[in-house]
Amino acid sequence: MANPLWSDKILQLLQRMNNFYLPGSCRTNCLRFEVDGIKVGWIVPHVASLLARYTDVFKQPHGGALSLRDDLDTYDKRSEAVDAVLSKLRCEPSLRCLKGWRDERYSVMDKFSDPPVMWMERAATSLFGVKRYGVHINGYTVSDSSEVCMWLARRSPTKQTYPGLLDNMAAGGLAAGMNIKDTLVKECQEEACIPEALAEKAKPVSTVSYTYEDGEGVFSESQYVFDLELPLDFKPKVGDGEVEEFYHLPIKKVKELIATDDFKPNCAMVVLDFLIRHSFIEPDIEPFYQKFVSGLHQTL
């Protein structure tokens, strides 16, 4: 029998992580961010007004869109021009996200399969509402008696975002120039000290996509999800300091935890996807089954 309180909390999580689609969101007031005539993001009005001051980089808003000048016609020209503007805006008090500048480059494109039109500083991506991609790994074990347990990570209290919350065993953003498999291996090694030969056994199983707004802009994200069944005697170890501790927990406990505020929201969605795919949530029992599935795969 389904737990109504748990189900309601999961539904609230999915609605919060997809609030850009809800009536009353900022979407109706956003300007499209277009590069070479292609929409690659969404810009909220107060950010658009700041950017439009830089007339050597941006055209004046027109037809509901903010675009780059026509003479910025190459990947490098666009990237360097926008980065120069963002560097100047780092002292702008209303753009809090730029305080977390990381010197990490993210690719900007309409679809993941498209060639990127430019790169952008990771901390600025929410200002432009460009799609961010990442890789998340569900590390789990299956005992001789078929009991499934999952490895979870506790984020370091010094992390820039969501410090101290529960997380997937390993995960990371897809930086410009990196492919998905290499990112998976890199994050497994750096965060959990998982050897490359073991990390490469991870299986691509799904994507989890969502778009939400908050005071820092529009977050449009898609996570490539992998399942990695680990040997029973393997224990991930803290690597680069982004993780404080690892926990090996029964799947029933993991299911409880994703409905709490102790879990990083998008990682809770990745675990929810795991629970659905492995039949720990069943449509005959969970009344919100269809809403859960659709809420994990929202794309613009």
What residue ranges do the domains of the chain occupy?
Answer: 4-21+132-295, 26-130
**Is pLDDT above 90 for 239?**
no
d(CA 264, CA 179): 24
pLDDT for the residue 131? 96
Cα–Cα dist 104/152, whole Å: 25
Q: Domain 26-130 falls in which CATH fold?
A: Transcription Regulator spoIIAA (3.30.750)
pLDDT, tens digit (0-9, with 9 covering 90-100), for 203-214: 999 999 999 999
Q: For the domain bounded by 4-21+132-295, which CATH number is listed?
A: 3.90.79.10
Q: E strands of the chain, at which residues?
A: 31-35, 38-43, 65-67, 105-108, 118-121, 131-142, 148-155, 166-168, 170-173, 203-214, 217-229, 243-250
- Average model confidence (pLDDT) for the chain? 95
In this prediction, residue 2 has a pLDDT band, given cuts at 50, 70 and 90, of confident
Rounded CA-CA distance 254/256 in Å is: 5
pTM above 0.85, yes or no: yes
Q: Are residues 90 and 100 in contact, defined by beta-carbon separation less than 8 angstroms?
A: no
Separation of alpha carbons 1 and 272, rounded Å? 17
Q: How confident is the model at residue 240 (pLDDT cuts 50, 70, 90)?
A: confident
Give the pLDDT confidence of 113-172 residue by residue, as tens digits. 999 999 999 999 999 999 999 999 999 999 999 999 999 999 999 988 899 999 999 999
